[in-house]
Amino acid sequence: MPQIKLTTPFNDETIENLRIGQKVLLNGTIYTGRDAAHKKMVELLDQGKPLPINIKGQVIYYVGPSPAKPGQVIGSAGPTTAGRMDAYAPRLLALGLKGMIGKGKRTPEVIKAIKQYKSVYFTAVGGAAALISKCIKKCTVIAYPELGPEAIHELLVEDFPVIVVNDTLGGDLYEEGIKIYAIK
């Protein structure tokens, strides 16, 4: 499967063409958010208030970046475990979130929502945080600065490497990997 370049924001057609195992280079704006930020966003929705970011067509990267060293845009920026956001993800997907980046498996409920709302779950390689950070060209805190590294950041990324783990067909790269390498 060839590697492709995509630019955010995404539309349904872009997402529907992605398949598990596909290598993607993301370009454009993505947002960061971990469990504390997700909890705050869902609390706003419960109160009938708008989110601090427009998530329609966007991608959220599950990361709490370390502080930037002098001359750098951002510190290490490796993915965190996606399961922490599983309680919140279906609600955001229903509002038009098109992509999530993290590491680890998603619950059946999230996989169902990915399929239902035409979105995608990518993984970024864990353990490569310093290398990944080189693809981030700009980093701005835009919501919840009191959360420190868990604030929502707007990132401008260039050729940010990810792999499709869950697609609109209900595919699951982790499950496929187990099947391929299972002892028969």
Mean pLDDT of the 19-31 span: 97
How does strand 136-143 pair with strand 152-166? Answer: antiparallel
Active site residues: 38
In this structure, is the dihedral angle defined by the CA atoms of residues 92, 95, 101 and 107, taken in order, positive or negative? positive
The band of 115, judged by pLDDT with boundaries at 50, 70 and 90, is very high
User: How many independent structural domains does the chain possess?
Assistant: 1
Structure tokens given for 121: 């779950």
Helix (H, G, I), strand (E, B) or coil at 141: strand
As a residue count, the chain comes to 184
Domain containing 95 equals 4-181
pLDDT digits (tens, 9 = 90+) for 163-173: 999 999 999 99
Residue 154 maps to which CATH number?
A: 3.20.130.10
Structure tokens given for 135: 């693809």
